[in-house]
């Protein structure tokens, strides 16, 4: 890097190249969506058989290629824009110094040296007529000598020339540093020349992302980060203020950040979280493949007293001590990720709309927020909170419940515009005995749930205001109760199923429109009566008391029937116990769907 090269460099050419990569990535994204949500969905909707299954498998591989192309092109675009940003900053420093030299009639040499003219007489005293030259590119010792000499130089131009020379040197050093920093990052963005998107490819993509993000700190800093602890409206305003290039940079370099910002459009959050899912799943599989398989001879028999006892073998115990925790953790997380992908692969079946991944993390017990149907354009939104023992490894059942609910809404009101969302956005109690009696899980998770609902309000782009229903099961009802007790709950209706208590003793104490709290309790469900002693509320008036739950008449909720109803083709089956509230063709599911679509008059009560 030298003065001539930096002066003639055109950062706009690098930005134009970045635009080209971004356009290619956008085309890949459109192709992926076309394959997944139109072609594959159309096959699932209308075709069955081995040929259809084979076609879907090939289309899945094709969509993976398009997605990988989209991600890699986004990284190249961000890297080129980051390089252009750094070089433009260095070039502007150089041009500013050159302009100052020209305005003072100084001459700048090709090596960055600055020649200054002789000084004019001052106060009638003749000064030495000679001019001079100084160079900001010399070694530190020479620079120090030059500065000292300039300090005693009677020619006042000398100090100014030295300052300009230093600025030129700083600009050239900044450009050289940027070139050295970005060159290996860009070289690393070369993909394999095959059509298999492997786990190693996604691991490499994550490494590339981290490298470009580190190199692009100044670039991202110039764009500006989202507001710290911002509200959904704050987040939406920040995103709306970004240029297409800046949005692409954040999506490419920090998808985890973008994916968790409530208030951003659902398709943007989905795009970001799918990258996180791909990279996380690949990393987990590679880690798991590096762990030796557990010994086949896990068990053995020993004699304890008079009776044989089955125990783990020494070989298995040694393996478990070294690898067991990681082996189980990775398998559990991968099970949840496979379930999320399974929902993606259901789009089109029996008219099921596309899914949106609105939140994802494999940290701790895991997080997953999956919408069936786009909430931004839906007239009705239902947001379901699962209860005790919920975690990423068990998310499949919770996703299926909202899939069943969406389908039932179409039975209740054909063509209804509905988004049914599974919200595993908190640390649920993991043990019924050790954890579930404690309320802090509910109060700790309540703010995130409230903010998510506020985010749905902010990102909604359909006509009118959406009708929103909060749905909780078991301890999930306790969280919703805590959310409605401690703050504003952005919901028009609340449905409780199998509730152990919601921290208040009356529906009127909740931040929900009067008459819009609904409750379902199935025969044989033990949780409500057991849980009331830990999570029931109190009501100090006639007929009230303590440890009240939504199924108590005095609580004031609308009770929904869970028993069998009707006859023939219109009959619905009853449910029993704690886990059947979303069984297909059940009365409990039908009544929930009626509330979700606002058909309150058709909801049936228990006999």
Local mean pLDDT, 10-residue blocks, the chain (607 residues)? 94 96 97 97 95 97 96 97 97 96 93 85 51 57 40 73 94 96 94 90 96 96 95 98 96 97 98 98 97 93 83 94 96 98 96 97 97 98 98 98 98 96 98 95 97 98 94 98 91 98 94 96 96 92 83 96 91 96 97 98 95
Q: Strand 558-560 and strand 517-520: pairing?
A: parallel
Report the length, in residues, of the chain. 607
Q: Is the pTM of this model over 0.95?
A: no
CB of 176 within 8 A of CB of 1?
A: yes
Q: Where are the strands (E) in 78-151, listed by range?
A: 107-108, 113-116, 132-135
CB of 484 within 8 A of CB of 459?
A: no
Q: How far apart are CA 512 and CA 484, in angstroms?
A: 7
DSSP secondary structure letter of residue 442: H
Question: Which pLDDT score, from 0 to 100, does residue 138 have?
Answer: 44
Q: How far apart are CA 579 and CA 455, in angstroms?
A: 29
Q: Which of 534, 394, 415 is nearest to 478 (CA)?
A: 534
Question: Which pLDDT score, from 0 to 100, does residue 570 have?
Answer: 85
Question: Which pLDDT score, from 0 to 100, does residue 146 have?
Answer: 43
Question: Which pLDDT score, from 0 to 100, does residue 331 have?
Answer: 97
Question: Which pLDDT score, from 0 to 100, does residue 585 have?
Answer: 95
User: Residues near 60 by Cβ (< 8 Å), separated by ≥ 6?
Assistant: 40, 345
């Amino acid at each position: 890097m030298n003065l001539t090269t930096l002066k003639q460099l055109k950062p706009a050419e690098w930005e134009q190249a970045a635009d080209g990569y971004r356009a290619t990535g956008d085309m890949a994204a459109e192709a992926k969506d076309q394959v997944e949500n139109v072609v594959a969905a159309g096959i699932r909707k209308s075709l069955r058989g081995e040929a259809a299954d084979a076609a879907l498998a090939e289309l899945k591989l094709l969509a993976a290629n398009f997605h990988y192309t989209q991600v890699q092109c986004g990284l190249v675009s961000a890297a080129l824009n980051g390089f252009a940003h750094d070089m433009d900053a260095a070039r502007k420093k150089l041009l500013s110094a050159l302009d100052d030299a020209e305005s003072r009639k100084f001459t700048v040499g090709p090596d960055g040296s600055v020649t200054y003219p002789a000084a004019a007489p001052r106060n009638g005293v003749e000064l030495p007529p000679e001019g001079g030259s100084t160079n900001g590119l010399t070694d530190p010792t020479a620079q120090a000598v030059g500065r000292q000499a300039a300090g005693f130089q009677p020619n006042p131009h000398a100090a100014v020339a030295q300052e300009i020379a230093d600025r030129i040197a700083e600009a050239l050093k900044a450009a050289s540093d940027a070139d050295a920093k970005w060159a290996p990052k860009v070289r690393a963005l070369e993909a394999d020349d095959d059509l298999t998107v492997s786990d190693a490819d996604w691991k490499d993509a994550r490494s590339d992302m981290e490298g470009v993000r580190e190199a692009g700190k100044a670039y991202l800093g110039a764009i500006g980060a989202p507001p710290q602890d911002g509200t959904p409206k704050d987040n939406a305003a920040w995103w709306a203020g970004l240029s297409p290039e800046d949005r692409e940079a954040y999506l490419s370099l920090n998808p985890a950040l973008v994916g968790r910002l409530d208030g951003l459009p659902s398709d943007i959050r989905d795009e970001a979280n799918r990258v996180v899912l791909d990279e996380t799943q690949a990393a987990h599989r590679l880690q798991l493949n590096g762990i030796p398989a557990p010994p086949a001879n896990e068990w053995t028999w020993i004699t304890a007293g008079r009776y044989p006892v089955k125990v783990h073998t020494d070989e298995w115990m040694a393996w478990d001590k070294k690898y067991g925790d990681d082996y189980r953790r990775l398998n559990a997380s991968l099970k949840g990720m496979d379930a999320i992908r399974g929902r993606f692969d259901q789009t089109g079946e029996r008219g099921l709309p596309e899914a949106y991944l609105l939140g994802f993390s494999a940290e701790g017990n895991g997080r997953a927020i999956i919408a069936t149907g786009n909430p931004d354009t839906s007239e009705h939104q239902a947001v379901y909170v699962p209860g005790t023992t919920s975690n990423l490894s068990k998310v499949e059942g919770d996703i299926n419940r909202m899939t069943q609910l969406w389908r039932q809404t179409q039975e209740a009101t054909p063509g209804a515009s509905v988004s049914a969302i599974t919200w595993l956005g908190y640390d649920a109690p993991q043990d019924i005995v050790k954890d579930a009696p404690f309320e802090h899980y509910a109060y700790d998770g309540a703010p995130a749930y409230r903010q998510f609902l506020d985010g749905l309000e902010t990102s909604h782009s359909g006509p009118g205001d959406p009708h929103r229903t909060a749905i909780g099961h078991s301890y999930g009802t306790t969280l919703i109760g805590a959310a409605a007790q401690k703050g504003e709950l952005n919901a028009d209706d609340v449905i409780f199923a199998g509730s152990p208590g919601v921290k208040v003793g009356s529906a009127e104490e909740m931040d929900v429109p009067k008459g819009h709290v609904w409750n379902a309790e199935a025969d044989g469900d033990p949780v409500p009566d057991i849980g009331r002693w830990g999570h029931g509320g109190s009501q100090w008036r006639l007929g009230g008391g303590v440890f009240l739950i939504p199924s108590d008449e005095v609580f004031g909720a609308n009770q929904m029937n869970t028993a069998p109803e009707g006859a023939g083709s219109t009959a619905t089956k009853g449910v029993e116990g704690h886990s059947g509230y979303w069984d297909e063709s059940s009365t409990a599911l039908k009544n929930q769907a009626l509330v979700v679509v606002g058909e309150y008059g058709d909801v049936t009560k228990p006999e």
